[in-house]
Amino acid sequence: MSVTVEVALLSGRTVTVQADQAEQVDKLKLRAQTALGVGEGRLLDTSGSALDSCSTIEAAKLQNGDSLTLHISRLQIQSTSAAFAAILGDGSVVTWGMKDHGGDSSAVRHQLKNVQQIQAHDHAFAAILGDGSVVTWGQASMGGDSSSVQDQLKNVQQIQASEQAFAAIRSDGSVVTWGLGEFGGDSRAVQDQLRNVTQIQATGTAFAAIRADGSVVSWGGAYAGGDSSAVHHQLQNVQQIPVSLSCFTAILGDGSVVTWGDAGCGADSSAVQDQLKKVQQIQSNDGAFAAILGDGSVVTWGRASGGADSSSVQDQLKNVQQIQASDCAFAAILGDGSVVTWGDDEAGGDSSAVQGQLKNVQQIQASEQAFAAILGDGSVVTWGDAGYGADSSAVQHQLNNVQQIQASLRAFAAITGDGSVVTWGCIVYGSDNRSVQDQLKNVKQIQASVRAFAAILGDGSVVTWGHAGFGGDASAVREQLKTSQPPAECGELQPMPFFVNKNLRVISANLDRAFVATEPRGTIWTSPDEDARPPCSVLRATFVYCFRAESGEPEYCPEFESIKVDEFTEIPALRGRKVTFMAAGPCYSIAVTSEDRIIHHQQLRRAAKQSQPLKGDVYSWGKAFYGETGLFTQVTPFKVTEAFDRLCREESY
């Protein structure tokens, strides 16, 4: 006996598929993928739960007329220091690299189904499945074996890692830990306090959890922040916790800062405590911190040799937009696109040799002791220790129209506008990609281990290079990696007729609908007003329009027809800016500041081939783009075209 079901993509395309009840779900899925012309994906039932590909149609209880969804996700790669793990489009996982660092997942491969995300430290991986359970592999004693807490690992929402342990937050706000106890794998001493936890941060050997009431619970190596008792009374209304190797720094709701852990690495901020007011964001390396204040100035503290002493450039640190850190130095991008550096000269703290070239800088990447800056014209400027990638002279003529840069410990890899890759730095750390250069075409993303790189191509395949023992050789799993999903074709960006010439301000989107907020008379707020308007860029609205995500046509949504938004969350990096577009996914959000037209999230997917679809800046926060954790933390600006390219490849958006 056979059943006939309808299978749809998130874009709205559908196909009718037939299968015998004795056949496996995988056969049904394969027919749907072939008919729709897409690669591997996850088949979801009407409730949104993933169907087991190995189950029969009968066991899955599929019936005639059922509507299923084929969820296609872009291949994702995570890395430890010496191994890689790729989540394929169907939610399975392929690993390669050093076995003791997670390169061999064969023992748990049958469990790695419907994987949503992967967390890693140097020696192990932990994967969260669609049902909230967790699968781990790698060095057993360091968290690769979670059997002792497996019955507790249910409804897991997120996982954080120290150097040799993991901590998982469950949906009820409780926490489960495993791995080496001295690295935070044993939380029994504070288990009764680990309630209503919203986020966790980790140093090398300790964890700190922020609870819903803004208080903090810490455990693990006391010298590295596991003991916060000395400042416990100060830890109230904590918003986020930046870390160094052995120190925690909490930013409170009023913009002040509380530190604890290793005093020699930043836990003692007493010398600058009176300056730490209205802190917006903090950057750190292993031994020092640099805080950007509300007025764009910078305060530094910690180990002097790590960049804690910025006195020689303090008068230049004005209107700072973002800061990047190497192991012992910092580089700040100012509002005018220039760069100020300080710290260990050999680690990038001295940029005087290239200062005249550092103009209109868009972003900076760092290896352990060198920096690489992408300029507005797509060229690249490097400085620091030549052995760590500071000398790019041999490839400078190739560094044109660079879109993004990734770094291993001592080498850099840049993706150019035509999708090719340029590498430089130390050869044994991945700077020599000649053996795969002809394969590196249409590259979309690069991930790095300590001494190797892995590139995701536009067709969903993966190319690796660098030290074979650190993941530079994926030949053993090449056939498995071919089952990954190529990105959907991107079409032309189209305006939505209903909203042309209307003053729109905020858009939020889910999988099939989007919501536009405006003022009652079509007016909009362009900047905060102390008396009448909220002090943030997520603006109050009295009317919300709802429209179909695919067509852009308005529809009647009584639950959203006229609502008043009364709750606001401050996003410091967006304060005072004109926010014209916002969107939220399951784990992240983006905001665009622009004077151009409004588009919706389906159109974002089609915009990657547009050279300049919008004029403006894009800000993101959450988990999806640059690994940020927690909502509204570490807001990161990047190019508009890059944001669209990323969203275009996110079928799961």
Which among 440, 397, 438, 396 is positioned nearest to 415, based on CA atoms?
Answer: 440
Whole-angstrom Cα distance, residue 443 to residue 602? Answer: 23
Whether the CB-CB separation of 124 and 165 falls below 8 Å is answered with no
Residue 144, CA distances (Å) to 79, 106, 164, 400 in order: 14, 13, 9, 42
Query: Over 50: is that where the pLDDT of 504 sits?
Result: no
Higher local confidence (pLDDT), 637 or 408: 408
Neighbours of 491 (CB within 10 A): 14
* Residue 500: both structure tokens together: 């042309």
Higher local confidence (pLDDT), 490 or 575: 575
Q: What is the pLDDT of residue 132?
A: 92
Question: Exposed, middle or buried: residue 263 (CB in 10 Å: 0-12, 13-18, 19+)?
Answer: middle
Q: How many CA atoms are closer than 13 Å to the CA of 512, on its beta-carbon side?
A: 8
Whole-angstrom Cα distance, residue 154 to residue 130? Answer: 11
Q: What is the pLDDT of residue 2?
A: 83
Q: How many CA atoms are closer than 13 Å to the CA of 15, on its beta-carbon side?
A: 15
DSSP bridge partners of 284: 289
Whether the CB-CB separation of 417 and 410 falls below 8 Å is answered with no
- Mean pLDDT to the nearest integer, 589-608: 39
In the numeric block, the tokens 């340029």 are attached to 422
Whether the CB-CB separation of 591 and 598 falls below 8 Å is answered with no
Q: What is the pLDDT of residue 650?
A: 39
What pLDDT digit, counting tens, does each position of 312-336 carry? Answer: 999 999 999 999 999 999 999 999 9
What pLDDT digit, counting tens, does each position of 359-378 carry? Answer: 999 999 999 999 999 999 99
What is the C-alpha radius of gyration for the chain, rounded to an integer number of angstroms? Answer: 25
Q: What ranges do the domains of the chain cover?
A: 2-71, 497-648
Whole-angstrom Cα distance, residue 165 to residue 163? Answer: 6
Whether the CB-CB separation of 68 and 60 falls below 8 Å is answered with no
In the numeric block, the tokens 């781990």 are attached to 136
What pLDDT digit, counting tens, does each position of 95-117 carry? Answer: 999 999 999 999 999 999 889 89
Q: What is the pLDDT of residue 49?
A: 80
Lowest mean pLDDT across 19-28, 452-461, 583-592: 583-592
Q: Which residues contact 614 (CB under 8 A, 6 or more apart)?
A: 592, 594, 596, 597, 599, 640
Whether the CB-CB separation of 624 and 588 falls below 8 Å is answered with yes
Lowest mean pLDDT across 46-50, 173-177, 303-307, 324-328: 46-50
Q: Which residues contact 599 (CB under 8 A, 6 or more apart)?
A: 493, 495, 496, 581, 607, 613, 614
Q: What is the pLDDT of residue 114?
A: 87
Q: Which residues contact 616 (CB under 8 A, 6 or more apart)?
A: 580, 592, 593, 594, 595, 596, 640
Q: What is the pLDDT of residue 631?
A: 30
H or E segment to which residue 25 belongs: helix 25-36
Residue 163, CA distances (Å) to 89, 101, 143, 465, 566 in order: 29, 12, 10, 25, 42
Query: Over 70: is that where the pLDDT of 535 sits?
Result: no
> Quick check: pTM over 0.95?
no
For 492, list phi and psi in degrees, rounded to 5.
-80, 150
Query: Over 50: is that where the pLDDT of 507 sits?
Result: no
Which among 365, 396, 360 is positioned nearest to 376, based on CA atoms?
Answer: 360
How far is the first Cα of the chain from the last one, in angstroms, to the nearest whole number? 36
Q: What is the pLDDT of residue 389?
A: 97
Whole-angstrom Cα distance, residue 62 to residue 291? Answer: 56
* Residue 334: both structure tokens together: 């100012």
Question: Exposed, middle or buried: residue 92 (CB in 10 Å: 0-12, 13-18, 19+)?
Answer: buried
For 244, list phi and psi in degrees, rounded to 5.
-115, -165
- Mean pLDDT to the nearest integer, 55-71: 87
Q: Name the residue type at position 80.
A: T
Fold of 2-71: Ubiquitin-like (UB roll) (3.10.20)
Higher local confidence (pLDDT), 604 or 174: 174
Q: What is the pLDDT of residue 67?
A: 87
b (16+ CB within 10 A) / e for 427-439: eebbbbbeebeeb
Higher local confidence (pLDDT), 59 or 599: 59
List the beta strands (DSSP E) in 88-185.
Answer: 93-97, 115-120, 124-129, 134-138, 156-161, 165-170, 175-179
User: 421 pLDDT band (50/70/90 cuts)?
Assistant: very high
Q: Which of 468-477, 492-501, 549-558 has the highest mean pLDDT?
A: 468-477
Whole-angstrom Cα distance, residue 197 to residue 321? Answer: 30
Helix then strand then coil, in percent of the chain rounded to 5, is 20, 35, 45
- Mean pLDDT to the nearest integer, 144-171: 95
Q: What is the pLDDT of residue 452?
A: 97
DSSP code at position 24: B
User: 181 pLDDT band (50/70/90 cuts)?
Assistant: very high
Whole-angstrom Cα distance, residue 156 to residue 175? Answer: 9
* Residue 403: both structure tokens together: 């879109």
In the numeric block, the tokens 């939610």 are attached to 91
Q: Is 212 helix (H, G, I), strand (E, B) or coil?
A: coil
- Mean pLDDT to the nearest integer, 452-474: 93
User: 37 pLDDT band (50/70/90 cuts)?
Assistant: confident
Higher local confidence (pLDDT), 65 or 174: 174
Q: What is the pLDDT of residue 483?
A: 55
Whole-angstrom Cα distance, residue 602 to residue 607? Answer: 9
Lowest mean pLDDT across 27-36, 283-292, 602-611: 602-611
CA 284 centroid distance within chain: 18
- Alpha helices (H) along 462-531: 478-481
User: 246 pLDDT band (50/70/90 cuts)?
Assistant: very high
Query: Over 80: is that where the pLDDT of 142 sits?
Result: yes
Lowest mean pLDDT across 32-41, 176-185, 231-240, 313-322: 32-41
For 191, list phi and psi in degrees, rounded to 5.
-60, -35
Whole-angstrom Cα distance, residue 231 to residue 217? Answer: 11
Query: Over 50: is that where the pLDDT of 166 sits?
Result: yes
Query: Over 50: is that where the pLDDT of 558 sits?
Result: no
Whole-angstrom Cα distance, residue 558 to residue 543? Answer: 11
CA 469 centroid distance within chain: 26
